[in-house]
Amino acid sequence: MARCLICGKTTAFGNNVSHANNRTSRKFKANIRRIKVFTDGKEKRIKVCTSCIKMGKHISILQKSV
pLDDT of 39: 78
Domain limits for position 53: 12-65
Calpha distance 28→33 (Å, rounded): 16
4 within a domain of the structure (yes/no): no
pLDDT of 65: 52
6 within a domain of the structure (yes/no): no
pLDDT of 32: 95
pLDDT of 38: 82
The total number of structural domains that make up the chain = 1
3 within a domain of the structure (yes/no): no
Classify residue 21 as left (phi > 0), alpha (psi -120 to 50) or beta: left
pLDDT digits (tens), the chain, 66 positions: 789 999 999 999 999 999 999 999 999 999 999 999 887 888 889 999 999 999 887 776 655 554
2 within a domain of the structure (yes/no): no
